[in-house]
Amino acid sequence: IRGSSSQMFPKKSYGFETWDAQGEEVDISMLGMPEESDWILNANYTDKTLCRNALAYQVSRNLGHYATRYKYVEVVINGIYKGIYVFSEKIKRDANRVNIAKLKPDQNSGDQLTGGYIFKIDKTTGSGGDGWISNFPPENHNNGQTIFFQYEFPKAEDITDPQKAYISNYVNSFESTLAGPDFANPETGFRQFVDELSFIDYFLVNEISKNVDGYRLSTFLHKERESLGGKLRIGPVWDYDIAWHNADYCGGTEVEVLAYQFPCTDDYWQVPFWWERLLEDTAFANNLKCRWTMLRDNLLSDNWFDQYIDSVALLLNESQERNFTVWPILGVYVWPNPWPYPPTYAEEISSLKNWIHQRLAWIDQNLPGTCNSTATDFADNHQAAFSIFPNPASNVLYVKTESNNMKEISFTISD
């Protein structure tokens, strides 16, 4: 059984591994996904649309980033029907998941020491727990709140002391520079440590969804080896079942406020100072606005959200009846659902779409920054040198290269 708050629900989420006959992990392909041994079945119990997590994953993938692959399934365990689940990849270092160098215990110096790393900001329940405390507390820390980074890869039991020192010192250098007077300098400021585009797109996913846990929980970061790019990137996105207008606390229901401005100052888990500071940089704010402007007509349009959500509702039209027969929660309160509680699945879907329309319209008018063009020069340091997205695609397909030397590109599209 996996999860943090979700462990209290009667419909449990699960993590599992694929093993061979000897009880050893074995990589296999599941439901057409790349071979691996670690998988997740996400119950989405509190999300009666059953699509909020998948929606966040798909938005991030549409923007050209890795997000966990997923499939809708119905689960039966020992002959007992458990309902609709989202079968997905666990966030893990792998060529087909978070594609960074494999850092081994004997790699403690030189270029090898510089990557790759995965770490997260999260509760210590569920998994993890070992890591380091940031030298920079959140803006609201009257009750002794800190920002705690947890080791994800290498795992806490595998990471060596030199590796611990390297990644904590790197993050401290980023934070020190960001907090310093010259933080916005394009050469010597925060951009020397982080990939700006990843932070911009992560911000957009959290703000569109008004994620009440955004930035302060379930926030993954990863760093590649210096010879392979080196910079710190934020993501993959994870855990959005109480986003998208599905939390009745800490401003989760409010359309007209940005999520990073977390209002519950007494809560222990606070938002790092990064986002407030980044938006003080005119260039970052303008790049954010240009990115939004570029995406709004297609990959982040009202029409795209309607089509995607409707496609999920159509796919689940029959199976949702079985799910909600076993779990009769439509029309009743399940923590932390906001009022009102739609009595049917169709009305849950309609409510979600209506809220997203309101949120997108408000962001159109209130996102910081000014865009004088839709140019995306700031994307030069994006992780992939060549990418095709979104996947899956229907009407729009982007082919992106960051090399100015390619005169001709050939690629094949297959179903």
CA distance 314 to 332: 23
pLDDT at 407: 64
Residue range 19-25: average pLDDT?
Answer: 96
pLDDT at 391: 67
pLDDT at 272: 98
State the pLDDT confidence band at 375, using cuts at 50, 70 and 90.
very low
Residue range 162-175: average pLDDT?
Answer: 98
pLDDT digits over 209-262, tens only?
999 999 999 999 999 999 999 999 999 999 999 999 999 999 999 999 999 999
- Which DSSP category does 194 fall into? B
pLDDT digits over 103-136, tens only?
999 999 999 999 999 999 999 875 557 999 999 9
**pLDDT > 70 in the chain, percent:** 93
What order do you get walking across the sheet with 38-42 strand by strand? Answer: 14-17, 38-42, 80-89, 70-77
pLDDT at 190: 98
Q: What is the pTM of this model?
A: 0.90
Residues of the chain by 3-state class (helix, strand, coil), percent to 5:
30, 15, 55
Check whether 287 has a pLDDT greater than 90. Answer: yes
State the pLDDT confidence band at 379, using cuts at 50, 70 and 90.
very low
The first and second tokens of residue 148, run together, are: 């705690």
pLDDT at 325: 98
Instruction: Please answer whether residues 171 and 232 qualify as being in contact, where contact means their C-beta atoms are separated by less than 8 angstroms.
Output: yes
Question: Strand, coil or helix: what is 378?
Answer: helix
Check whether 5 has a pLDDT greater than 80. Answer: no
Beta bridge partners of 87: 41, 71
Instruction: Please answer whether residues 204 and 292 qualify as being in contact, where contact means their C-beta atoms are separated by less than 8 angstroms.
Output: yes
